[in-house]
Amino acid sequence: MERRDAVVIGAGLNGLVAAAYLARAGLDVLVLDRASSPGGIALPYEIAPGFVLPRYTLGSGGLPPRIAADLDLARHGLRFIRAEGSVACFPGGAYVASYRDGIVHRRELARHSRRDADAWTRYRRDMLRAARGLAPLLTRAAKAPFGGLFAGLRAQLALADRIAALPPADLAAMLRLWTMSASDYLDDYFEAPEIKAHLAAAALIGGTLGPSSPMSASRLVWPWLSETGDAMGGAPDTLMPQGGTIALLQALTAAVEAGGGTIRLEAEVTDVLIKDGRVRGVELANGETIGAGAVLSGLDVKRSFLSLFRWKDLPDGLVERVGRVRMKGVAAKVNIALDAMPDFPGLPEGCPSLGGGLRLAGTIPAMDRAFADWRERMPPRDPVIDVLIPSITDPSLAPPGRHVLSALVQFVPGELHDGTWTVERRDALRDLVTARLAEVSPGIGKHMLACEVLLPGDIEDEVGLTGGDLAYGEATLDQFFANRPFPGQGGASTPLRNFYLCSPSAHPGPFVMGAPGANAAAEVLTALKGRG
């Protein structure tokens, strides 16, 4: 039987990051994926010849610089492009853009409210304070209380000490951020409805909370996590890999192989081998078995436990606990190829923020209604649409002069209250999205060479992501930190010895790209070192 130090199931971004870390540490790593090319949910594909975009995700955001540096990805050809914030367009023609430059950003806010332009200072301070407090918690494993005997206890006491030592004002700030709704939280700073809607919409994408849902305020912090020291006082920027996710995947693949790891495609893992409560290896669809000292799963938590094991092999209660994890699709993906740059007459010519994304949002009450539709499992009537035209900042993604457009339609239920997504309803959704796009860019329909809609159910069917939930499990506080992947089990290690989760189902979830993979690799290495 073939034997490896570690086997990673799934060649997605996090699986490759974990494998690259392990290979760099000298482990003999094998990455297995059932698809014919790496990528997982970040899979890049050609919607039309020469038009490349990620099939299921929006494709914004890059790895944190720390991971890129650790894995020496620059040597493997990875470059990042900095894009300005983003633009939100509102019905009626108003828009709010975000800029990196503090002076320019304030001038932009002043178009809506002179007072709010100045309130930005305090908002930025509070966001950066929260992000700086949060960042160290995200880049290391969150231990479940009493997880490991003394280490867990010590970690818990240290956390309790830190919280107890917070001055009352800081504790109040922490509570506000973790319990309030985004809409109430923003009311404390801003008065202009467009500014509040712009900030709230950016925070809601991919989540299962509406702007007025309690606890949605904490999501406002996430764009700030990547804010670097050379910040210019404006909005946080987005870092995008040059060449898109393809380039990112190529660099990660090269990093795995440079460390001596192997990536085997078209090799589907059907079972994880378990003996005496310990994971020993994996079995492939062709019957082949591979022994492994550690098995890392890049699949979501439900699929990892419920489809890779025989349930009778799992410890008591695990099936039930995993079954209760909430994973619901909230977004549909629309991929479009364009034969020309669409025209946005409502935006000033040459607006640099367009490169960071365009959001078709309503006011906060409209977003609440869209969220309510999703809860009622209604087909969306007025969804929030997050648009990225990655070929603006990176022309290599489309033939010269042409563009690809990626759109994430927020608040699309996976299942409808009255039946299935019929062909007519799919077409209606596509028409709704193109009509909304045409509102801000009249004539965009004439430029479309191809258009494709992927519902949450399609995403589940194609890549096997439970519910088509791109967040790999709702990222609310009750399913976060020590409660991610499931309550009482924080971090990458699982109740099964030698079995780890390296997908965003584990801490820190979907917020920091690559971090679940890096955390899982760190836990594997710590465990191996402890064993000698």
Partner 1 sequence: MTPDTLPRAEEEQMDALHDTAAPANAPDPADERAEVDPALFEEEGSEPPFARAVRTTPLHLETAAESRTNRWTAWNGYTVPRVLTDLGDEYRALRGAAALMDLSPLVKYRISGRDALAYLERLCAVSVATLDIDRLRHVMFCEGSGMVLGDGLLFRLGADDYRLVTEETHLAWLIDSAEGFRVRVEDVSATLAVLSLQGPLSALLLAELGIGDAAMLEPFAARWIALGGMPVYASRSGATGDLGYELWCDAEDAPHVWRALMAKGAAFGLRPAGFALRELARLEAGYPRAGRDYLSAFAAIDPADALPPAAIWPHFVPDPAKGLFNGGTALRSMQGEAPARRLVRLAVQGLEPVRFAAISAGGAPVGLATSAGFSPALGANIALALLDERAVRSGDLSVLAERRAGLSVGESRLPARILAGPVFSHPRRFAVPAPFRP
Q: Which residues bind partner 1 (CB under 8 A)?
A: 97, 99, 101, 103-108, 110-111, 114-119, 121-122, 124-125, 128-129, 132, 167, 169-170, 348-353
**Of the two residues 304 and 353, which places its CB atom closer to partner 1 in the complex?**
353
Distance between CA atoms of 186 and 127, rounded to whole angstroms? Answer: 11
Distance between CA atoms of 361 and 243, rounded to whole angstroms? Answer: 28
With tokens 């549909």, the residue in question is 332
**Of the two residues 101 and 382, which places its CB atom closer to partner 1 in the complex?**
101
CA distances from 277 to 85, 459, 499, 506 (A): 49, 33, 10, 21
**Of the two residues 4 and 198, which places its CB atom closer to partner 1 in the complex?**
198
Taking residue 419's Cβ as centre, other Cβ atoms within 10 Å add up to: 8
Distance between CA atoms of 294 and 159, rounded to whole angstroms? Answer: 29
Minimum distance from CB of 128 to partner 1 (Å)?
5
**Of the two residues 230 and 349, which places its CB atom closer to partner 1 in the complex?**
349
**Of the two residues 173 and 448, which places its CB atom closer to partner 1 in the complex?**
173
Minimum distance from CB of 112 to partner 1 (Å)?
11
Cβ atoms of residues 52 and 45 within 8 Å = yes
Distance between CA atoms of 391 and 355, rounded to whole angstroms? Answer: 8
**Of the two residues 131 and 502, which places its CB atom closer to partner 1 in the complex?**
131
Residues 6+ apart with CB under 8 A from 171: 163
- DSSP reduced 3-state for 83: strand
**Of the two residues 116 and 474, which places its CB atom closer to partner 1 in the complex?**
116
What kind and span of H or E run contains 47?
Answer: strand 44-48
Minimum distance from CB of 114 to partner 1 (Å)?
4
Residues 6+ apart with CB under 8 A from 491: 141, 142, 143, 144, 147, 506, 507, 519, 523
Distance between CA atoms of 397 and 395, rounded to whole angstroms? Answer: 5
Minimum distance from CB of 349 to partner 1 (Å)?
8
Alpha-carbon Rg for the chain in angstroms: 23
DSSP string for 343-389:
P-TTSPTT-GGGGG-EEE---HHHHHHHHHHHHTTPPPSS-EEEEE-
Q: Which residues pair with 39 in a beta bridge?
A: 12
Distance between CA atoms of 489 and 483, rounded to whole angstroms? Answer: 6
Distance between CA atoms of 294 and 427, rounded to whole angstroms? Answer: 45
**Of the two residues 113 and 307, which places its CB atom closer to partner 1 in the complex?**
113
Distance between CA atoms of 109 and 192, rounded to whole angstroms? Answer: 9
**Of the two residues 49 and 167, which places its CB atom closer to partner 1 in the complex?**
167
* Structure letter (DSSP) for residue 505: T
**Of the two residues 63 and 104, which places its CB atom closer to partner 1 in the complex?**
104
Minimum distance from CB of 192 to partner 1 (Å)?
12
Minimum distance from CB of 140 to partner 1 (Å)?
22
Cβ atoms of residues 104 and 94 within 8 Å = no
**Of the two residues 106 and 196, which places its CB atom closer to partner 1 in the complex?**
106
Distance between CA atoms of 409 and 133, rounded to whole angstroms? Answer: 31
Minimum distance from CB of 99 to partner 1 (Å)?
6
